[in-house]
Amino acid sequence: MQSFNADEVFKIGMEVELNGRAFYQAAVDGCTDDGPKKVLEYLRDEEDKHYASFSKMRDELPEGARHDTVFDPDGEMALYLKALADSRVFTTETEAVEVAKACRTPRDVFQAALRFEKDSVLLFETMKETTKPEWGQDKIGLLIEAEKEHIRKISTAMANLT
């Protein structure tokens, strides 16, 4: 039987945001077009805010949340959460930078960013399901809405590319 707890859930969220920040920073560094660069800078800064949110939620967890908190006798939810976390566009900061550097055009960057943001929404929705309301479930919901806004912003930026 696999088990996991709210502390681990928030730690995964923090890792996702660090990886996203690394991707966006590398994309900013490689971007010469001011329009896409402004969007990428905004998204990079958003990753910092989200990291801080997950860190704060993690710090505010009661001691009990650092122990197994999710009833998952067959380990299915833990395995599902791990599979989602492991199948993201990039799973480390190094990999995130490599993905950004491999992009040749702003469209390539935005397509990779869309995959990352969509992966994040799916992962965070699962995280929300596994988190008790009193331990930040509503805050994760707000982060999900912010990720969806990122998807809209990236989609708009792609539509504006010439």
- Quote the tokens at residue 84: 């989602």
Give the mean model confidence (pLDDT) for residues 30-40.
94
d(C-alpha 159, C-alpha 39), whole Å: 13
**Considering only the top CATH level, what class is 6-159?**
mainly alpha
Q: Each residue of 19-29: b (16+ CB within 10 Å) or e?
A: bbbbbbbbbbe
Domain boundaries, the chain: 6-159
Sign of the CA dihedral with 109 first, then 48, 148, and 13 last: positive
d(C-alpha 12, C-alpha 69), whole Å: 16
Q: What is the average pLDDT score of the chain?
A: 85
The model's confidence at residue 57, banded by pLDDT at 50, 70 and 90, is confident
Quick: pLDDT tens for 96-125: 999 999 999 999 999 999 999 998 898 888
Q: What percent of the chain has pLDDT over 70?
A: 88
pTM for the whole thing? 0.84
